[in-house]
Amino acid sequence: MQSHIVRCPRCQRRLVSSGKVNLALSFIKAQPHRLDLLMRANGQAVSVLKHSLRQEPKAQELKKALPQQTPLAKYGRYGFSLGSLAACIALLFLMKIGVFSSMDTVQTRGQKVIRRYYVKHAGQDLADEVFPTDTGQSPSANSHGPFTT
């Protein structure tokens, strides 16, 4: 079949046309159905029934039936807001139990350990340059940096 398409101009045109149709269909954005689609379809189905069946109570219920929305479809638009609220609550909870202050304590203790290492192995003058004690700044706040002259 593939060799036939290669040699037949008519089949080549058909293949190209079907490719264009497939491409066009892939670009069409799917539109959600209106909520009354079920009601309209049921109304059309009931209208083809015999007159005696159309007047039945169940037929009238079918004409008025609307689909039940899923909770995801109903409340899905609030997802981002709920996620943001949950993130804020989580941050407040972490602040309340002291996780961030504990991290600051760990950072301060780590700097002290590294300062002692510098004092022991590189000398007091280099440790004072890298970890200034008189200004109370952290090494990241030192505008000159540890390796500048």
The Cα 149–Cα 129 span in angstroms is 10
The Cα 149–Cα 147 span in angstroms is 7
Place of tokens 């069946």: 53
| Residue 34, phi-psi category: left (phi > 0), alpha (psi -120 to 50), beta (remainder) | beta
Give the Cβ contact number of residue 6 at 10 Å.
9
Contact 95, 103 (CB under 8 A): no
* Amino acid (one-letter) located at 28: I
pLDDT at site 122: 86
> Residue 89 pLDDT more than 90?
yes
* Amino acid (one-letter) located at 39: M
Tell me the domain boundaries of the chain.
1-31
Contact 67, 38 (CB under 8 A): yes
pLDDT at site 141: 47
Q: What pTM was computed for the model?
A: 0.33
Beta strands of 9-149 (E only): which ranges?
none
3-state secondary structure 10-25: HHHHHHHHHHHHHHHH
| Residue 147, phi-psi category: left (phi > 0), alpha (psi -120 to 50), beta (remainder) | alpha
Residue 27 corresponds to which tokens in the numbers above? 């670009």
pLDDT at site 143: 46
The Cα 130–Cα 116 span in angstroms is 12
pLDDT tens, 91-140? 888 888 888 888 888 888 988 998 898 888 888 888 888 887 754 444 44
pLDDT tens, 24-65? 777 765 556 676 777 888 888 888 888 888 888 888 887 887
